[in-house]
Amino acid sequence: MNRYRSMVKMMIDDALKSIVGFEGPHRERLKIVAGQKLERIVSEAIDRVAHIVVSRKRNGLIYCRLCSKGPFTKRGLYLHLRRIHRSEIEEKLLDEIARIIETR
């Protein structure tokens, strides 16, 4: 798991953008950082963490499930996650990557 820690640290900003739901080139950067073998695993881990971290209500409002704060805009949630929960999300990504690799 320690060998994936540096990869997660390099891709955390792009992962946060994916978790929040931004569109753009960050998905391509994630593929480059993760490499061809881990691309699917990292993508699946990000999707799983997104379901844990982000709550989207029917009326379009976005909340943080880690601390129950909100509502946020996409940008506001990205900044909140980056400033407040960055290390927690890094750990969740590492755990999910390890869990996915174990099951395969």
Q: Which residues constitute the domain of residue 30?
A: 2-103
What pLDDT, on a 0 to 100 scale, did the predictor assign at position 54? 97
**Helix, coil or strand: residue 2:** helix
Tell me how far apart the alpha carbons of residues 42 and 18 are, in angstroms, rounded to a whole number.
11
Indicate the number of domains in the chain: 1
pTM of the model: 0.91
The pLDDT of residue 1: 62
Q: Strands 62-64 and 54-56: what pairing?
A: antiparallel
**17 and 35 Cβ atoms separated by less than 8 Å:** no
Written as tens digits, the pLDDT of the chain (104 aa) is: 677 899 999 999 999 999 999 988 888 888 888 888 899 999 999 999 999 999 999 888 999 999 999 999 999 999 999 999 999 999 999 999 999 999 98
For the chain, the 3-state helix, strand and coil shares in percent, each to the nearest 5, are: 75, 5, 20
Q: What is the pLDDT of residue 96?
A: 96
pLDDT of residue 17: 95
Query: Nearest to residue 34, comparing CAs of 2, 4, 56, 64?
Result: 4
